[in-house]
Amino acid sequence: MEVAEVEGDHVPSVVPELPSEIIWFLILPRLPAKSLMRFKCVCKSWSSLISGNPTFLGVHRNLRCNNSRYTHLLLNVFDRDTGHDHLLSVQINQDGDGDGDGDGDGSTSPATHLLTLSPDYHLYDYQCTNGLFCIFYFAKPVATKTHHEHDPEDHVHIFNPSTGESIILPHTSLSKYTLQIKGHFGFSPFTNEYKLLQVQLCHDWTSNLFSLKLEILTLGSDSWRCIEVDLDQLPFNPLSSHLYGESVCLHGALHWIYQDGEDRSRIVVFDLGEERFRVITTPEDDGSDPCWTIAEVGGRLALMDDKDAMPQKLMLELWILKDYQNQVWAKETINFPSHWRESTYHHLNSLRTIHTGELFIQSSPEVQASHHFYDMKSNRFYKSSIVLPDLIWRNDGDARLGLITSYRETLARLRL
């Protein structure tokens, strides 16, 4: 204990000095990513800690798991007047009305502008996994270009909305037979790697034969690798599957819905660590094979039964994979307020799942539309208003708002 002298008297003065380990691993990881990025300027040791210390990054990531306080929504606003695509972030605010029907005044959540895409480019796909955002866009075609030609200006852009860092991935090689192409962005917690799987459906117009080409790029590498797969040994028909459709990344694997002819639907799984395919059986209901939509609900794989019919039925049926290893499914039913049938919700623009175990419901693509959340744990609806930045919002503008996904903050560095 140090002693400070004041006017001849001895007054004990304790100079607090916390151990570095407490500051580094108990205090700093609780701060938002935006603050931590500023604190990198404090000293070299803090910069090194925040930028790449595995223990620090792990503590920061674990504190944000299953805690909705750290969850943000990633929104897209398309301004039809200017042709700009704006990406926004908004933190989920659960302080809505308490009556459970979601029709009170609700809470207000200000949106933060992240980036704007030039009208010279078309944003055609976006995916998010473990806090990183993958944007697929291409330069708008010229009149002389045919649909078989590959545009050298097509881009795959990896963006960290928490840190503002971004990189552009190298181009994949396309053959003249490429008919469809789809990228699937995923993360494996077992190898701590982000990977992008590129699926190409090819059609030889001369022989009228179809084939599948699989390539993968690991974030941190500057080149694509071909995946050698014996198509005849797969437990599904890859040429009639939807590997070039939407996927969900969970448990270090990508998942698709697959249905071949009269066979029962299955889920195709691609393990990002082992880089192998397998299948998961879908739940047996009443003998019918519904039109499933695959999703993530509360960190679990889920299937939604014909969500387009929900406004008429005022009910949504969910099958949730409670036990991933043993493939145990459980059915849950969500009932919506009866007065929604006569309201603007008779045609829903968006019904999306959020990894906190909530549903996001949007009545229309208008920026002034109502936005509701349904908490599956409390069986409660709450309403939230999203306030756009002045940079984007104009009363006379023609803008369309849509939810892309939800994400948690991450300090993951981007590199090739």
Q: 146-161: buried (b, 16+ CB within 10 Å) or exposed (e) per residue? A: eeeebeeebebbbbbb
At 304 the pLDDT is 83
pLDDT-derived band at 246, boundaries 50, 70, 90? confident
Residue 233 in tokens: 């040994």
CA gyration radius, the chain:
24
Q: CA 402 to CA 405: how far, in whole Å?
A: 9
Q: CA 409 to CA 92: how far, in whole Å?
A: 13
Mapping DSSP to helix (H, G, I), strand (E, B) and coil, where does residue 179 land?
Answer: strand
61 DSSP 8-state letter: H
Instruction: Give the rounded percent of residues in the chain with a pLDDT score beyond 90.
Output: 20
Q: CA 351 to CA 332: how far, in whole Å?
A: 16
Residue 64 in tokens: 């944000």
At 365 the pLDDT is 61
pLDDT-derived band at 82, boundaries 50, 70, 90? confident
How would you classify residue 340: left for phi > 0, otherwise alpha for psi between -120 and 50, otherwise beta?
A: alpha
Q: What is the pLDDT of residues 359-381, one digit of tens each?
A: 887 766 666 556 778 888 888 88
Q: CA 73 to CA 409: how far, in whole Å?
A: 11
Give the alpha-carbon dihedral of 296, 299, 300, 305, to 10 degrees: -30
How would you classify residue 28: left for phi > 0, otherwise alpha for psi between -120 and 50, otherwise beta?
A: alpha
Q: What is the mean pLDDT of the chain?
A: 79
Q: What is the pLDDT of residues 116-143, one digit of tens each?
A: 888 888 888 889 998 899 998 877 765 4
Least Cα distance to 196 among 181, 207, 186 occurs for 186
Q: Which residue has the higher pLDDT, 99 or 198?
A: 198
Report yes or no: 229 and 242 within 8 Å, Cβ to Cβ: no
* Distances from the Cα of 98 to the Cα of 21, 83, 198, 337, 381, angstroms: 42, 39, 45, 15, 8
Other residues' Cβ atoms within 10 Å of the Cβ of residue 300:
17
Residue 133 in tokens: 């955002």
At 14 the pLDDT is 60
The whole-number average pLDDT for the span 91-110 is: 60
> Where would I find the H helices in 119-213?
none
At 2 the pLDDT is 47
The whole-number average pLDDT for the span 324-349 is: 75
Q: 180-213: buried (b, 16+ CB within 10 Å) or exposed (e) per residue? A: ebbbbbbbbeeeebbbbbbbbbbeeeeeeeeebb
Mapping DSSP to helix (H, G, I), strand (E, B) and coil, where does residue 243 land?
Answer: coil
At 143 the pLDDT is 45
183 DSSP 8-state letter: E
Q: CA 291 to CA 82: how far, in whole Å?
A: 37
Q: CA 402 to CA 364: how far, in whole Å?
A: 9
Q: If you average pLDDT over each of 68-82, 93-107, 148-162, which comes out highest?
A: 68-82
At 346 the pLDDT is 46
Residue 51 in tokens: 């930028």
